[in-house]
């Protein structure tokens, strides 16, 4: 049997620690090609480069792995991989990360790591974004390797439902071992921003944005609960953003007679 | 009764034609505050500014309307409006656009216009993104004004379901009048990229990305069908990206015995 082809990307940039760990694990599972941003792209969400040029160059960064760095966003990298670098061979798996920091709950929308995985799903490729819920500069990735390997194996062997990408978050390394894996829903939470005003040397005002995470969710079936309780969270994410339940509600709520009378 | 407070943003930038039309209509419906990017931000998706500073300054651009331009993304603009400019008064409505170009189907993920509206929904504010499906430089916005007014009125009067933002797309101006409004689902489609290779004056390679829209959807209940048939499409969009149907499927598909044995 031929080895599966695995595309690796991320949003922390091609020289980050997390992508090195991910490449190391993926080399055991298949042929690996890396296309990743040349600089950190955290918080880029599903941004793509419109009206500007893109750079892409092959780099010897990982041992025995073909790797390209790009000036683009994480989603640009997946597009460049799918439609240029790997034009003649469809990847069997897209993995993104391992992100240095949490991508649970609403962060899935802001996350370049997850947007790369979702772009893979749009292309019909089983895709996974991995994130470690530890922001410390010395974050330890050693306790998650076996989970990355086993989850990726399950996806290679069993696939994932069509149109779905997995958002996998790992708890930080704690004194006790990880308790297991929970397939979850996205927790109901948001980022509540503070803007700190400062003045530059020319006396002109600028701002730093600081986000505080607020969790409104009291359930035990969501990713925030899983991480807080030392489980790996796996949220299946879809790119169909339609609120299907709201279609009939809006049709019922709107005053169509009044609306039509004014058009 | 006091007038509603309406926050206006966009992704084409504060000097674009579409936002001028939107502000003009909103002034009839309430008190308007504009916070919009100082330059075009198309394709920025749900990107936010992390690890860098933000500028924000008040500008006299619109008659009798308080307006701020920002160096940030559309989502940054909504965050700056909600947590800084309008700290003491929650907007009753967030409107974004009118985008110069289509945001139907999968484009909702890449669109800064829609991401601004979705950020409004995350903040619990009824929110609408408006887009005109016409890329020509002389795009005519005159036929959509009354629709913008009436849809916004319906939302101000009847609200929209919690956690939902509306993705409203208008057909281009045609010889026949718009036929009406359809509440739709997001069409199943994707952008298929071509990358054109060029060389800069120093002989170094760069790329231009060109997207070709591919519609796989044969239904008549989706936004692509509505626009093609000269209807206004309204898709309720949610920020819960969980593929709820996939949770039980993954729990059934994975070989948990094998997985646990290896951990």
- Is the Cβ pair A237, B243 closer than 8 Å? yes
Chain A positions in Cβ-Cβ contact with residue B192 (cut-off 8 Å) = 83
Q: Is B12 marked within a binding site?
A: yes
Range B103-116 average pLDDT: 97
The reported pLDDT for the residue numbered B2 is: 83
The answer to the question of residue B196 being in a domain is: no
pLDDT (tens digit, 0 to 9) for every residue of chain A, 263 residues total?
689 999 999 999 999 999 999 999 999 999 999 999 999 999 999 999 998 999 999 999 999 999 999 999 999 999 999 999 999 999 999 999 999 999 999 999 999 999 999 999 999 999 999 999 999 999 999 999 999 999 999 999 999 999 999 999 999 999 999 999 999 999 999 999 999 999 999 999 999 999 899 999 999 999 999 999 999 999 999 999 999 999 999 999 999 999 999 98
Size of interface A-B (CB pairs under 8 A): 249
The whole domain housing B17 covers 5-188+219-261
Positive/negative CA dihedral, B104, B107, B113, B117: positive
**pLDDT score of B1 more than 80:** no
The answer to the question of residue B211 being in a domain is: no
Question: Of A162, A166, A75, which is closest to residue B188 (Cα–Cα)?
Answer: A162
The reported pLDDT for the residue numbered B211 is: 85
Radius of gyration of chain A (CA): 20
Q: What is the distance between the alpha carbons of residues A100 and A94, in angstroms, rounded to a whole number? A: 18
Q: Is B11 marked within a binding site?
A: yes
Check residue B171 and report its DSSP letter: P
- Give the closest of B40, B46, B73 to A51, CB-based: B40
Q: Is B71 marked within a binding site?
A: no
Nearest CA in chain A to B74: A47
The answer to the question of residue B229 being in a domain is: yes
The reported pLDDT for the residue numbered A1 is: 61
- Is the Cβ pair B46, A51 closer than 8 Å? no
Nearest CA in chain B to A50: B43
Pair type for strands B5-9 and B31-37: parallel
The reported pLDDT for the residue numbered A263 is: 86
**Burial of A161 per CB tally in 10 Å (0-12, 13-18, 19+):** middle
The answer to the question of residue A251 being in a domain is: yes
The answer to the question of residue A195 being in a domain is: no
The answer to the question of residue B145 being in a domain is: yes
The answer to the question of residue A246 being in a domain is: yes
Q: How far is CA B179 from the centre of its chain?
A: 23
B51: confidence class by pLDDT, cuts 50, 70, 90 = confident
The answer to the question of residue A196 being in a domain is: no
What is the CATH number for B247? Answer: 3.40.1210.10
Q: What is the domain count for chain B? A: 1
ipTM: 0.95
**pLDDT score of B263 more than 90:** no
Chain A: nearest CA to B145, how far in angstroms? 10
Residue A127 three-state SS: strand
The reported pLDDT for the residue numbered B84 is: 96
Q: Output the CA–CA distances (angstroms, integers) from residue A244 to A127, B157, B237, B256, in the order listed.
A: 24, 22, 8, 32
- Is the Cβ pair B207, A254 closer than 8 Å? no
């Amino acid at each position: 049997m031929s080895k599966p082809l695995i595309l690796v990307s991320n949003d922390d940039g091609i020289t980050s620690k997390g992508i090195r760990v991910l490449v190391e694990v993926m080399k055991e599972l298949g042929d690996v090609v890396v296309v990743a941003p040349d600089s950190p792209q955290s918080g880029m969400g599903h941004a793509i480069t419109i009206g500007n040029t893109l750079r892409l160059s092959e780099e010897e960064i990982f041992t025995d792995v073909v790797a390209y760095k790009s000036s683009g966003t994480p989603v640009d990298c997946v597009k460049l991989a799918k439609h240029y670098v790997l034009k003649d061979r469809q990847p069997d798996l897209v993995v993104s990360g391992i992100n240095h920091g949490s991508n649970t709950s609403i962060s899935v929308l802001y996350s370049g790591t997850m947007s790369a995985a979702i772009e893979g799903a749009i292309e019909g490729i089983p895709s996974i974004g991995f994130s470690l819920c530890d922001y410390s500069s010395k974050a330890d990735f050693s306790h998650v390797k076996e989970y990355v390997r086993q989850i990726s194996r399950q996806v290679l062997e069993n696939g994932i439902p069509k149109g779905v990408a997995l958002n996998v978050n790992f708890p930080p390394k704690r004194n006790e071992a990880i308790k297991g894996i929970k397939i979850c829903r996205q927790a109901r939470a948001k980022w509540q921003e503070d803007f700190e005003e400062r003045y530059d040397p020319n006396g002109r005002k600028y701002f730093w944005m600081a986000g505080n995470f607020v969790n409104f969710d009291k359930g035990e079936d969501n990713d925030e609960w899983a991480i807080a309780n030392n489980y790996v969270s796996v949220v299946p994410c879809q790119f169909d953003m339609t609120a299907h339940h709201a279609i009939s509600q809006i049709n019922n709520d709107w005053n169509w007679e009044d609306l039509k009378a004014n058009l």
